[in-house]
Structure formats: C-alpha cells, structure tokens
Amino acid sequence: MDGARQSSGQSTLEYVLVLLAFMATIATFAAMWRMASDQALVNRAEQGLSHNAGKEAGLMQDVLCY
C-alpha cells in the first residue's frame, strides 16, 4: 500500500514540473513575440553593431571593434 502511495505522489510531482516547464516556455515565447512586435529586437541588434559607434569614431575604432 505504501509503495502505491509513493508512486502516486511521484506522478503528481512530475505532472507539476512538466506543467511549470511548459508555462515557462509559453511565457518566454510571449515575451519574444512582444519584443519582436515592438521592434525592440531590431533596435538592440542595431545598437550592437560596431558601425553604429558614431560618425566621429573613424576607421581606427571600427577596426578595433572587430
């Protein structure tokens, strides 16, 4: 009887863990969708470009960024 009870508790725990992982995945996709719709991903990628360092930076800073 005690073995069946532990098995039942294990399956409930596994169910909860899988549900939490699924919900975290859905929340991540929702956050990425919102960032993509607000063009935030494009803006962050554009800020990370070395050519966006500034017009006065010149050739030397452009070479050093690589």
Q: Is 57 exposed, middle or buried (0-12, 13-18, 19+ CB in 10 A)?
A: middle
pLDDT of residue 1 exceeding 70:
no
Q: What is the pTM of this model?
A: 0.53
pLDDT value at 24 more than 70: yes
Per-residue model confidence (pLDDT) at position 37? 87
Segment 25-62, tens digit of pLDDT: 999 999 989 888 888 878 877 777 656 555 555 666 66
The amino acid sitting at 18 is V
Please tell me the total count of domains within the chain: 1
Is 60 within a domain? yes
Residue type, 55: K
User: Containing domain of residue 64, as a range?
Assistant: 25-66
Return the pLDDT at 5: 59
Indicate whether 50 belongs to any domain: yes
pLDDT at 22: 98
